[in-house]
Amino acid sequence: MEADGHHGGGLVSAPAVIDADVGIVGAGPGGMAAALRLADAGLAVVVLDEGMRPGGQIFRQLPAGFVSTAHPSEPPSHQQGHELLRKLQRSKVRVEARATVWDAAAPTGPGPVPHTGAAAQAGKLWFEQDGASRLLRCKAIVLAPGAYDRCVPFPGWTLPAVITLGAAQVMVRGFAIAPGTRAVVAGSGPLLLPTVTAMLAAGVEVVAALEAAPRLAVLAAIPGVLRSGARLREAFWYARQLLKAGVRLKFGHAVFAVEGNGRVERAVIGKVDAAGMPLRHTARTVEADVVCTGFGLVPSIEIGQKLGCATVWNETSGGWCLEAGPFGQTSVQNVFAAGEIAGIGGSEVAIADGEAVAGLIVANLRGAPAPLPLSSRRQSARSAAFAMLRAFHVRPGLFSLAQPDTIVCRCEDVTVQSARAAALVHGSTLRGIKMGCRAGMGPCQGRLCTPNVQALASSVGAAKWDLPTVQVPLKPVATATILDAPKG
C-alpha cells in the first residue's frame, strides 16, 4: 500500500504561514479518519505529521520508493487502515509530512462554532519541516498525536540492542531493517504479538516470547473484549501466526536482566508471580542479540497540556490522558482529541474517535445536533479496549527488578540510587526528584523515565506519577526554528 496524501514538497518555496479551517496533529488512524470526514464536508484541512508518510504507528508505510520482502503480514482488520490511506491519497486533505509540531496556541472565539472575524483568534501550530520554521493557522485544532512506549527498567535495559516493542516494529515496518538475529520479545500488552510477527517476518528467530500478565488474567478479559469482534478476531489471528511459527507465548514470565559486553549477548528470564514479583529460583539464561521490551503505551498529551486542556488520570488507559467528551471535546473550546491521546485504545477506537470529532465540528458549523450513533460506536470500542488493557496493567513487583545501579533516566544517566537520594533531600514528587538529579531533563523530555522515576525512587511499585509540566519546544527542534518562528 502506497499512500502519501499531499505532502509539503518543494520546500524552498513553501510559505512560512499556511491557513486552514481545521489543523490536525498526527496522520495516524485518528487524524486520518477526522481529516477525511472534515474534507468530505468541504472544510480545508491540513494534517501535520513528523513521520515521512501518513499512517501513524500501526499503518506505518515504508519511505516512498522503498520495497520490502519482509513486510509482516497483517490481520484482516488492518484493511480499514489501508482503506483510509487510499482515501487520503484521493482526497483534498493536505498532509504536511516531516512536520514536527513544537508549539501551539488555542483558537479563541465567541462560541463553540469555529469562528472567523474580529472577535476570533486563529489557533496556531508551529512546526519544523526540513529545517524550515513554519506555522499553521486554523479555526479548530484536532490533536491525534498518539502515544509512546512504556518501559520498566531492569539491569542491562540500556545496553545497545535492547529496544522497545514499538521501535522493533518501526525498524521492520518503517525501514525494512531486521533488528537482530535472535530475539527475546518481552513485556506486557497487546503490542507483544504484532512485535513477534514483525520479527518473524524480518527473518529473526524469536527465542522467547514472554508476557508478564498471568494467563488467567488475560482469559478473564475475554468477555469484555467481546464488545469488539474485530479485536477478538485480531488476537486469534496473531495467536495463529505464532502457532504456525512454533513460538509459544509464555504468560507470567519476564526478562530479569540483560547481559553482554557492550551490547546484548544474553537475557536472564524467568517466572513472575501475579503481582509481577520475580521468582528468582526460576531464572535461566538464553542467548540473544536483541531484546524487545515494552509495557504498554503512554498517551502523548504534551500538545494538549500546552493548549491548556484538562487532563485526567486513568491507569488502565496509559496514565495521564487528555480529558475528552464523547465527541472528543477537550476543556478548551475548538480543541479536540482523537485516538491514544485521550486514552490508549487501539486503531479501531482512534478511527471512531476521529469520525466522532469530525461529526461534531461539522455539526457545529451547520448548527445541527451532534451525531449520536457515532458516539455509541466509539464508546463500545473504548470499553472493549479498556477491558483488555486491564489485564495488562504494569504489575508493581516488576519494579523490584531494577537494582540501585540500574539507570532510570537514560538521557541523563541517572541511577535508581541517585533518584532515591534526590527524593530524600527534595521530596518524592516528580519535581523534587528532577531538581535533585536531573531525571527527565534530557532530550526525550522525560517521556521514557517519567512513569518510573517516582515508583523507583520512593515506595516500590507506586502506580501513579505526577503530571509532568510541559516546556516549549514540545519536541527537540533546532534553536533557529524557535528564533525564526513566524509570529502569524
Ligand X SMILES: Cc1cc2nc3c(=O)[nH]c(=O)nc-3n(C[C@H](O)[C@H](O)[C@H](O)COP(=O)(O)OP(=O)(O)OC[C@H]3O[C@@H](n4cnc5c(N)ncnc54)[C@H](O)[C@@H]3O)c2cc1C
Q: Which three cell numbers stand for residue 484?
A: 525564526
- The candidate with the shortest Cα–Cα distance to 340, out of 314, 365, 366, 364, is 314
Residue 142 and residue 23 in contact, taking contact as beta carbons nearer than 8 Å: yes
Task: Tell me the closest approach of the beta carbon of residue 98 to ligand X, in angstroms.
Answer: 9
Nearer to ligand X, 31 or 180 (CB): 31
Task: Tell me the closest approach of the beta carbon of residue 467 to ligand X, in angstroms.
Answer: 18
Contacts with ligand X by CB under 6 A lie at 25-31, 48-51, 56-58, 99-101, 144-149, 166, 169-170, 191, 194, 297, 300, 339-340, 346-347, 350, 474-475
Return the DSSP state at 460.
T
Helices (H), 312-467: 347-366, 372-390, 416-426, 430-437, 450-457
Cα–Cα distance for residue pair 158/84, rounded to 1 Å = 37
Nearer to ligand X, 7 or 271 (CB): 7
Strand partners, 164: 293
Task: Tell me the closest approach of the beta carbon of residue 57 to ligand X, in angstroms.
Answer: 3
Helices (H), 246-367: 302-306, 347-366
Task: Tell me the closest approach of the beta carbon of residue 217 to ligand X, in angstroms.
Answer: 20
Return the DSSP state at 365.
H
Nearer to ligand X, 300 or 450 (CB): 300
Cell 516470547 belongs to residue: 209
Cα–Cα distance for residue pair 434/418, rounded to 1 Å = 11
Task: Tell me the closest approach of the beta carbon of residue 30 to ligand X, in angstroms.
Answer: 3
Task: Tell me the closest approach of the beta carbon of residue 47 to ligand X, in angstroms.
Answer: 9
Task: Tell me the closest approach of the beta carbon of residue 482 to ligand X, in angstroms.
Answer: 14
One-letter identity of residue 173: R
Residue 253 backbone phi and psi in degrees, to 5: -130, 155
Tell me the residue ranges of DSSP E strands in 145-242.
147-149, 162-164, 182-188, 205-211
Cα–Cα distance for residue pair 233/194, rounded to 1 Å = 14
Give the CA radius of gyration of the chain. Answer: 22
Q: Which three cell numbers stand for residue 377?
A: 460506536
Nearer to ligand X, 315 or 405 (CB): 315
Nearer to ligand X, 388 or 437 (CB): 388
Nearer to ligand X, 24 or 255 (CB): 24
Nearer to ligand X, 58 or 307 (CB): 58
Task: Tell me the closest approach of the beta carbon of residue 106 to ligand X, in angstroms.
Answer: 16
Task: Tell me the closest approach of the beta carbon of residue 249 to ligand X, in angstroms.
Answer: 16
Cα–Cα distance for residue pair 38/26, rounded to 1 Å = 15
Cα–Cα distance for residue pair 66/366, rounded to 1 Å = 43
Cα–Cα distance for residue pair 153/400, rounded to 1 Å = 9
- The torsion angle over the Cα atoms of residues 108, 114, 120 and 124, rounded to 10 degrees, is 60
Task: Tell me the closest approach of the beta carbon of residue 78 to ligand X, in angstroms.
Answer: 8
Task: Tell me the closest approach of the beta carbon of residue 299 to ligand X, in angstroms.
Answer: 9
Residue 123 and residue 140 in contact, taking contact as beta carbons nearer than 8 Å: yes
Task: Tell me the closest approach of the beta carbon of residue 48 to ligand X, in angstroms.
Answer: 5
End-to-end CA distance of the chain: 37
Neighbours of 43 (CB within 10 A): 22
Nearer to ligand X, 133 or 347 (CB): 347
Contacts of 37 (CB under 8 A, 6+ apart): 354, 355, 358, 359, 362
Nearer to ligand X, 102 or 256 (CB): 102
Nearer to ligand X, 290 or 416 (CB): 290
Q: Which three cell numbers stand for residue 413?
A: 544517566
Counts for the chain of helices (H) and strands (E), in that order: 15, 21
Nearer to ligand X, 149 or 211 (CB): 149
Nearer to ligand X, 49 or 412 (CB): 49
Cα–Cα distance for residue pair 214/200, rounded to 1 Å = 24
